[in-house]
Amino acid sequence: MNDDQLLRYSRHILLEDIGIEGQERILEAKVLIIGAGGLGSPAALYLASAGAGHIMLVDDDQVDLTNLQRQIMHTTARVGSNKAESGRDALLQINPGIDVTAVCERVGDQRLAELVRGATVVLDCTDNFKTRHAVNRACFAAGVPLVSGAVIRFDGQISVYDPRGAATPCYSCLFPEGQNFEDAACSTMGVFAPLVGVIGAMQAAEALKLITGIGTSLAGRLLLLDGRAMEWTSIRVGKNPDCPICN
């Protein structure tokens, strides 16, 4: 690290669990963030400020005025711009010393597999089951840890699905494909803005823990947040022996 980096990341370096070695791991990391909206905004902003060396933002959507209530990576001036490109501009303003790639496309399975294979960790910041299952399949096929978050109305959830642990469940263990889980869209159900900040920031924290190897991840646990009561529920989740994805 150069002198500017030592100063910029000094508060991380002061943490005994991170130090210079951990910060160097962060600087060398490649983080793939699927979705540059409500969850992707705080997650990406914190990862950029922490010095994640290469961030790949994937989103084919455009910034809309209705997004600005919660998608803090975007601005009024960038309404109509692609979200991945808008996010790239925001991250580089915070930290010009990192690399940010904007992937302005709806990635299919093959392209997704390519992106995941090159990543240190993947963050699922999407809002539909189809994409979440596709990301989960790609991560377990490539052996790359996945940090998954979701928020709707006043409720949030977060977990880590880590294929490097033999007993660790995948996303499909909890929410099997083929079962009729209903996608709930913010456009029709609403979402309490600060909750995407809470869950997105936690996704960044879990990603940094995985990158640096500190602490205990949320693998095998599902955290549920009731935003009305501001109460957390932690549920232990096990691997489904019949899961076709992680067995």
DSSP string, 37-64: STTHHHHHHHHHHHT-SEEEEE---B--
Selected from 3.30.300.180, 3.90.950.20, 3.40.50.720, 1.10.3720.10, the CATH number assigned to the domain covering 3-236 reads 3.40.50.720
Average pLDDT, the chain: 94
The reported pLDDT for the residue numbered 144 is 98
The pLDDT tens digits of the residues spanning 35-46 come to: 999 999 999 999
Distances (CA, A) of 225 to 97, 201, 209: 34, 14, 21
Q: Are strands 54-58 and 30-34 parallel, antiparallel or unpaired?
A: parallel
Q: Is 246 a residue of the active site?
A: no
The pLDDT tens digits of the residues spanning 129-171 come to: 899 999 999 999 999 999 999 999 999 999 999 999 888 999 9
For residue 146, how far is the Cα from the chain centroid? 8
Q: Which two tokens stand for residue 24?
A: 């160097």
The reported pLDDT for the residue numbered 156 is 97
Distances (CA, A) of 161 to 17, 53, 229: 23, 22, 27
C-beta of residue 45 within 8 angstroms of C-beta of residue 94: yes
The reported pLDDT for the residue numbered 179 is 67
Please identify every stretch of the chain with a pLDDT value under 50, giving residue numbers as ranges: none
The reported pLDDT for the residue numbered 178 is 73
Q: How far, in Å, CA of 101 to CA of 164, rounded?
A: 26
* Phi, psi values for residue 102, rounded to 5°: -95, 120
The reported pLDDT for the residue numbered 189 is 77
C-beta of residue 160 within 8 angstroms of C-beta of residue 170: no
C-beta of residue 133 within 8 angstroms of C-beta of residue 172: yes
Of the candidates 173, 186, 243, 246, the residue annotated as catalytic is 186
Instruction: Tell me which residue has tokens 């084919």.
Output: 60
The reported pLDDT for the residue numbered 166 is 84
Tell me if residue 194 falls in helix, strand or coil. helix
The angle formed by the CA atoms of residues 162, 128 and 147, to the nearest 5 degrees, is 20
C-beta of residue 33 within 8 angstroms of C-beta of residue 131: no
Sheet strand arrangement including 155-161:
99-103, 54-58, 30-34, 121-124, 146-152, 155-161, 221-226, 231-236
Enter the DSSP assignment of 90. Answer: H
Q: Which two tokens stand for residue 77?
A: 């001036």
Domain limits of the chain?
3-236
Q: How far, in Å, CA of 201 to CA of 188, rounded?
A: 24
